[in-house]
Amino acid sequence: MEPMLLWGLDLIYAVQSHATPALTIFMKVVTNFGGAAAYLALLPLVFWCYDAEKGIRLALAVMVSVWINLALKILCDQPRPFWPAYDPSVGIITESANGFPSGHAQISLTLWVIVASWGGKKWGYAAAVLISLLVGFSRLYLGVHFPTDLLGGWILGALVLAAYFLLSGRIKTLLLRGGQRFQMIVSAAAAFIMILYRPTVEMLMPGAVVLGMGLAYSISANRLHFRPAAMFGRKGAGKLLTLAARYLTGTAGIVLLFVVFSRIEPEKTSAYYPLFFFLRFALLEFWIYLCAPWLYQRLSLAEAPSRKES
């Protein structure tokens, strides 16, 4: 493995030999299309403003991909190029976790290919793959990944996509047949399995998201019948303003929750910190998938369910 990593380091030197201030800024922007910033902005947008079912399926696929990535980072325990054993000078930015597999490469492929599949156009798939390739190149340019990290991330992303396209329809049918109670039990069981492998603070996030998302969406789908496209027949500018109001209101709620959590957060050395960390992400999902849709219906930003649906 060592010769492969040293070859990768030489490749990073070659890439960074063409670095310019403007290119560095561009790469720092591009790299966010495969990071937390992308899915924190996009996942609520899809659920609130486009299609609730597509939104929840996309979010679950991304979270499963994140969990697999974090688990393998711990298991493989591979270095990053800027670690002292290699060359700290190549790290234009830094990351705290292990290097292999690249989460940005894996999650960008998972995220953007699923989004492209909704249009079903060849150019959409090509654009999704291009975004993932650019994200991967940005990680190389910024000195935070070896080429092998990127390759591993793309392979895992492709496997997650294969599972998504083969199994998501069957899982949906099973959950619908089981009813609300079964859906909530499955959400709790999935979250338990996700934190069982290695109950460290880092590994708690995907499990917390899956638990909160699963419970909240089950209630929302069965009680609120939230439909993003239903907005009292509004079209044109009225529709755009309604969607913008939804996104701004929902995002304001997320920001408010983060501010509140930051004020009451215990010390990281506290025995209560892991529980707080878990609850923070679970409650955030309740806002996104249950409380915000309920608020939209109260504010006439979305249609409430009919008497028959209720």
Domains and their CATH numbers in the chain? 1-168 (1.10.606.20), 177-310 (no CATH)
Predicted local distance difference test score (pLDDT) of residue 309? 53
User: Residue 66: which of 308, 302, 283, 281 has the closest Cα?
Assistant: 281
pTM of the model: 0.92
Regions of the chain where pLDDT drops below 50: none
pLDDT attached to residue 121: 93
Placement of tokens 């699923």 in the chain: 114
Report pLDDT for 66.
94
Report the pLDDT value the prediction gives residue 39, as an integer from 0 to 100: 86
How many Å separate Cα 146 from the centre of its chain?
23
Q: Where do runs of H (alpha helix) occur along 120-146? A: 122-141
Task: Return the pLDDT at 28.
Answer: 95
Amino acid 109: pLDDT: 96
- Phi-psi group of 64: left, alpha or beta (phi > 0 → left; psi -120 to 50 → alpha; rest → beta): alpha
Structure confidence at residue 310 (pLDDT): 52
What contacts 28, CB < 8 A, 6 or more positions away?
92, 93, 138, 142
Give residue-wise pLDDT tens across range 263-299: 999 998 898 999 999 999 999 999 999 999 999 999 9
Question: Whole-angstrom Cα distance, residue 221 to residue 218?
Answer: 5
